[in-house]
């Protein structure tokens, strides 16, 4: 709610003790000069460009916060373990694909017949539950800290325990949607060709020379699941903050998330510009590595002979995959901070600079 400033009125007139009858002059209403922040979407809104710039500031501020607060790496470490579990589980599923028949379910959709692997659904439920709980703990930890009431990391996870049922329901709903989207992405003809073409351009040569087939397939399917997961979190951006900070159940939280997204869509665009630029930079590096045979005039001996390029390209391929994993783990924490700040701005209409981290944080949070 916007707090309306009190209007200070000055009454001008002659002294009432004067014996001569005087006519009082007109009353002048003098408004206060105190500036108050405009609520997002109100008539005092400065417009799109300023709001987008604010979103850019929130995104860059979350990166600075991550760099200057090393203890936040605990969240990244936990996220990295979840990603590692996802890849290992995918590798196990790929390695045992011959015994997958009991786990497969075929469902006709429109003019297609999609095959769903119940093991993929279970894997998504586990991973999404972990990511939801990590985001909830991070949001609660960062939001409490920005109000001057610091919270220990273990206490943040302890305080979200009353919401575990809601997060379990959210994870199941997201897993159902994610399993359908993953099957649609990999099995439909048009989308499947697009994904296959991108894979051949970016992630085939020279990786095929150095990564075992099981690991390569596990990384491919894990990347699809992670992309689907990111998309779902973007579509339900504020659900986790609304659950943990406003103590709401799943469906009211979904409704609140939609309302907040309508309020802060300009700031979200600003954040997407920053994080999207980083993703494009990583994609450019991946493209350069994947097209290195073309850059070397198809000198495949460079990739095959130990005396020339095998050791170097092995380090490049594995190093890039490892760097992407680390970037995803750290990026999940950065995104969590940005989501917490976006939520705070959407509910209070204010941002401030944190003097310790110089990052954007909400000056007020709901009770």
- Asked if the structure places residue 130 within a domain, the reply is yes
The angle formed by the CA atoms of residues 282, 283 and 284, to the nearest 5 degrees, is 90
Whole-number pLDDT of residue 104: 85
- Asked if the structure places residue 173 within a domain, the reply is yes
What's the CA gap between 201 and 53, in Å, rounded? 35
Please identify which residue in the block is written with the tokens 């799943």: 250
C-alpha distances in angstroms, 363 versus 69, 201, 218, 299, 332? Answer: 19, 46, 44, 58, 23
pLDDT at 29 over 60: no
- The phi and psi torsions of 13 (rounded to 5 degrees) equal -175, 170
- Asked if the structure places residue 160 within a domain, the reply is yes
Percentage of the residues of the chain whose pLDDT score is greater than 90: 48
Peptide bond into 46 cis (omega under 30): no
- Asked if the structure places residue 222 within a domain, the reply is yes
- Asked if the structure places residue 186 within a domain, the reply is yes
Whole-number pLDDT of residue 358: 42
Overall number of domains in the chain: 1
C-alpha distances in angstroms, 119 versus 89, 123, 176? Answer: 9, 6, 12
What's the CA gap between 124 and 330, in Å, rounded? 20
- Asked if the structure places residue 2 within a domain, the reply is no
Range name among 2-16, 58-72, 191-205, 231-245 with the lowest pLDDT average: 2-16
Whole-number pLDDT of residue 14: 38
CA 163 to chain centre: 20
If one compares 58 and 154, the residue with the highest pLDDT of the two is 58
Peptide bond into 206 cis (omega under 30): yes
If one compares 217 and 361, the residue with the highest pLDDT of the two is 217
pLDDT at 21 over 50: no
pLDDT one-digit tens code per residue, 129-147? 999 999 999 999 888 765 5
If one compares 299 and 286, the residue with the highest pLDDT of the two is 286
pLDDT one-digit tens code per residue, 105-124? 887 776 677 888 899 999 99
Whole-number pLDDT of residue 151: 67
Q: Are 133 and 348 a contacting pair, CB within 8 Å?
A: no
What's the CA gap between 166 and 248, in Å, rounded? 9
Average pLDDT for 178-187:
85
Average pLDDT for 185-209:
83
What's the CA gap between 143 and 139, in Å, rounded? 6
For the chain, the maximum distance between any two Cα atoms, rounded to a whole number of angstroms, is 112
pLDDT at 55 over 60: yes
Hey, which of 98-107, 220-229, 270-279 has the most confident mean pLDDT? Answer: 270-279
Q: Closest Cα to residue 243, out of 364, 329, 154, 133?
A: 133
Whole-number pLDDT of residue 42: 42
Whole-number pLDDT of residue 77: 96
pLDDT at 10 over 80: no
- Asked if the structure places residue 125 within a domain, the reply is yes
Identify the sign of the CA torsion 106, 129, 69, 234: positive
Mean pLDDT of the chain: 80
Locate 160 and state its tokens: 């979200």
In which band, very low, low, confident or very high, does the pLDDT at 24 lie, cut at 50, 70 and 90? very low
Q: How many residues does the chain have?
A: 367
Helix 48-68 vs helix 310-348: angle between axes, to the nearest 10 degrees? Answer: 120
Whole-number pLDDT of residue 2: 37
Whole-number pLDDT of residue 3: 39
The angle formed by the CA atoms of residues 278, 334 and 233, to the nearest 5 degrees, is 85
Average pLDDT for 282-301:
88
pLDDT at 238 over 50: yes
In which band, very low, low, confident or very high, does the pLDDT at 208 lie, cut at 50, 70 and 90? confident
State in Å, rounded, how far the first CA of the chain is from the last one: 13
- Domain encompassing residue 177: 9-33+50-361
If one compares 363 and 323, the residue with the highest pLDDT of the two is 323
Average pLDDT for 273-297:
92
User: What would the DSSP string read from start to end of 251-295?
Assistant: HHHHHHHHHHHHHSHHHHHHHHHHHHHHHHHHHHHHHHHHTHHHH
In which band, very low, low, confident or very high, does the pLDDT at 352 lie, cut at 50, 70 and 90? low
- Asked if the structure places residue 366 within a domain, the reply is no
Q: Quick one: 265 exposed, middle or buried, by C-beta within 10 A (0-12, 13-18, 19+)?
A: middle
């Amino acid at each position: 709610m916007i707090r309306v400033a009190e209007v200070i009125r000055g009454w001008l007139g002659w002294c009432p003790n004067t014996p001569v009858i005087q006519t009082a002059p007109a009353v002048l209403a003098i408004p206060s000069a105190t500036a108050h922040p405009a609520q997002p979407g109100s008539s005092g809104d400065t417009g799109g460009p300023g709001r987008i710039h604010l979103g850019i500031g929130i995104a860059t501020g979350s990166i600075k916060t991550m760099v200057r607060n090393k203890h936040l790496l605990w969240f990244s470490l936990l996220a990295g373990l979840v990603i590692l579990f996802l890849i290992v589980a995918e590798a196990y599923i790929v390695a045992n694909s011959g015994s997958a028949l009991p786990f497969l379910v075929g469902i006709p959709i429109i003019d297609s017949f999609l095959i769903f692997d119940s093991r993929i659904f279970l894997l998504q439920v586990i991973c999404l539950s972990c990511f939801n709980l990590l985001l909830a703990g991070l949001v609660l930890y960062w939001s409490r800290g920005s109000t001057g009431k610091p919270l220990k990391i273990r206490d943040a996870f302890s305080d979200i325990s009353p919401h575990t049922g809601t997060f379990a329901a959210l994870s199941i709903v997201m897993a159902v949607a994610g399993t359908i989207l993953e099957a649609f992405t990999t099995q439909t003809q048009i989308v499947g060709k697009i994904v296959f073409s991108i894979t051949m351009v970016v992630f085939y040569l020279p990786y095929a020379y150095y990564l075992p087939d099981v690991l390569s397939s596990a990384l491919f399917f894990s990347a699809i699941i992670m992309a689907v997961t990111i998309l779902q979190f973007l579509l339900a951006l504020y659900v986790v903050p609304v659950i943990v900070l406003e103590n709401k159940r799943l469906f009211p939280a979904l409704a609140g998330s939609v309302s907040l997204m309508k309020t802060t869509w300009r700031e979200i665009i600003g954040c997407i510009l920053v994080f999207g630029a980083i993703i494009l930079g990583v994609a450019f590096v991946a493209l350069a590595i994947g097209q290195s045979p073309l850059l070397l005039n198809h000198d495949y001996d460079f990739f095959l002979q130990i005396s020339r390029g095998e050791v170097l390209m092995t380090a490049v391929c594995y190093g890039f995959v490892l760097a992407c994993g680390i970037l995803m783990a750290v990026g999940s924490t950065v995104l969590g901070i940005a989501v917490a700040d976006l939520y705070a701005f959407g509910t209070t209409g204010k941002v401030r600079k944190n003097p310790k981290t110089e990052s954007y944080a909400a000056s007020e949070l709901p009770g």
